[in-house]
Chain A
Amino acid sequence: MRMYETIFIVQPDLGEEETKGLTAKVQEVIANMKGDFKRLEDWGSRKLAYPINKFTRGRYYFLRFDGDAPLIAELERRLRLDDKVLRYQSVKIEKEVAAPVAAPPKAVVEESAEDVAESATESE
């Protein structure tokens, strides 16, 4: 068993049902392949640093799980086939990071407003 974390970006304009379906599918894959699901965080809609497939915003999901190589292959295959997923990235981690991730899920609205302000200053 190895420790993995996956970030995937989905289209920002999806409905409640579609995102629920997607996250349920991800958890189902992990369960089927005898992985150990730890947690799934929704970072909300964030501004992308560059457009992906003509989308300037994306909804970030952070997934933390344990599993073996076939599991990650299957999970990435699923994410690749789903065209609602803009981008995904899996990273094998050496040790559990207890500290909260840098982009906490709290205050989604504030976060995005701040991001817009940040990019405005960048472009100056």
Chain B
Amino acid sequence: MSEERAPQRSSSGPRKKRPFQRRKVCRFCADKQVSIDYKDPRTLRYFVSERGKIIPRRISGNCSKHQREITEAIKRARNIALLPIAGTHIMP
């Protein structure tokens, strides 16, 4: 986020580098029926990057409560080999 911190030389006002507002609605707050479960790798995969890293809240748009639950669930799923720890592992 270095662009934001950069001194604003031009006088066109703050935060001009935001062409569009990202959708900032937590999926789990919007739809109460969707539950977070460590046994469900299909939903969790949405919150994991290609390399297997957990996607931060500022990108996924989750609220802090649900992000915490997601993090917990991903870590549990990794432990029982439902989710990869680092990307796709090379299978012998």
Contact = CB atoms under 8 A, between A and B. Distances in A.
Given A52-B81, A89-B76, A89-B79, A102 B39 contact: yes
Interface residues of B, number: 21
B89 A87 contact: no
B89 A97 contact: no
Interface of A is mostly: strand
Interface in B34-92: 35, 37-43, 76, 78-85, 88-89, 91-92
Contact of A50 (B38, B76, B81): B81
A56 interface: yes
Interface of A: 7, 9, 48-52, 54, 56, 58, 60, 62, 87, 89, 91, 97, 99, 101-103, 119, 122-123
